[in-house]
Amino acid sequence: MKPKETILLLDGNALLHRAWHAIPPLTTKDGLVVNAAYGFAMIVEKMIELQKPEYMAVAWDVKGGTFRDKLFEAYKAQREKKEQELYDQIPIIQKILDAFGIPSIEVKG
């Protein structure tokens, strides 16, 4: 019997926020904040080590409305504004994923 192949799909936005809140602020010598990128890389590395998947991808939500916005205008209206330093790390994380050979999938909503 042929062994089963495994695919590991990761929620990029969830891991980004998890890393952001778990790792104290880290900066490069140039002052670039990189704590979420560092934490994200550590999580991905650990997932690869534990799961040993044959295939892997990271899915990201991208800007744009969802069906929830149409159903309820005040959806997410109470949320605090996004911290720009967090989202500025996404391009760094994309480079890390490229180095790992892991594709990113962007999905609206």
> Domain for residue 88, yes or no?
yes
Q: Is residue 102 part of a domain?
A: yes
How many helices and strands (H and E) does the chain possess? 5, 3
57 contacts 10 by C-beta, under 8 angstroms:
yes
Query: What CA–CA distance (Å, rounded) separates 85 from 36?
Result: 9
Rounded to whole angstroms, how far apart are CA atoms 10 and 56?
8
55-87 in b/e form (b: 16+ CB < 10 A) is ebebebeeeeeeeeeeeeeeeeeeeeeeeeebe
* Residue 1, domain member (yes or no): no
CATH code where residue 82 lies: 3.40.50.1010
> What is the crossing angle of helices 90-100 and 35-51, to 10°?
30
The domain of 42 spans 7-108
The answer to whether position 45 is within a domain reads: yes
Q: Is residue 2 part of a domain?
A: no
Secondary structure (3-state) at 58: strand
Domain count, the chain: 1
Per-residue model confidence (pLDDT) at position 108? 75
Q: State CA 72 to chain mean position distance.
A: 26
Over the chain (109 residues), the average pLDDT of each successive run of 10 is 87 96 95 97 97 96 69 64 86 97 88
